[in-house]
Amino acid sequence: MRTKRAGPWGIPSMLPVTVGTPNNGGAVITAGGVLFIAAATDDLIRAIDLRTGETIWQDVLPGGGQATPMTYEVNGKLYLVIMAGGHHFMETPIGDAVIAYALPD
């Protein structure tokens, strides 16, 4: 989520630049150059192409994704997993889910 007028904690920014939102979690990057992150102030997990900066995939989590995702491999198949627990400070939905995605080959 990006806007020219949203500053931290909802304080309007007068900077003439686009700013992002606070993050509370990290990212994981695959060998193929895809960054996965879900640390923003919404309930989305995103895949971002490192070469272009474009969001190439996103999904709605059942709770806020203020956690660092991880990848693991089973029998040659790569998976992405994240805890969707939310965060009161980030004002995201609270949950207790662990979500796993099978990544495309």
The structure tokens 């960054």 sit at 35
**CATH number for domain 22-102, candidates 2.40.10.480, 1.10.443.10, 2.40.50.140, 3.40.50.2000:** 2.40.10.480
Q: Residue 79: its pLDDT value, please? A: 97
Check: CB of residue 70 under 8 Å from CB of residue 38.
no
Q: Residue 92: its pLDDT value, please? A: 76
Full-model pTM? 0.76
Q: Residue 17: its pLDDT value, please? A: 64
Question: Domain map of the chain by residue range?
Answer: 22-102
Local mean pLDDT, 10-residue blocks, the chain (105 residues): 56 66 84 91 90 95 88 95 82 86 92
Pairing state between β 97-102 and 70-74: unpaired
Q: Residue 58: its pLDDT value, please? A: 96
The structure tokens 């919404």 sit at 42
Q: Residue 66: its pLDDT value, please? A: 84
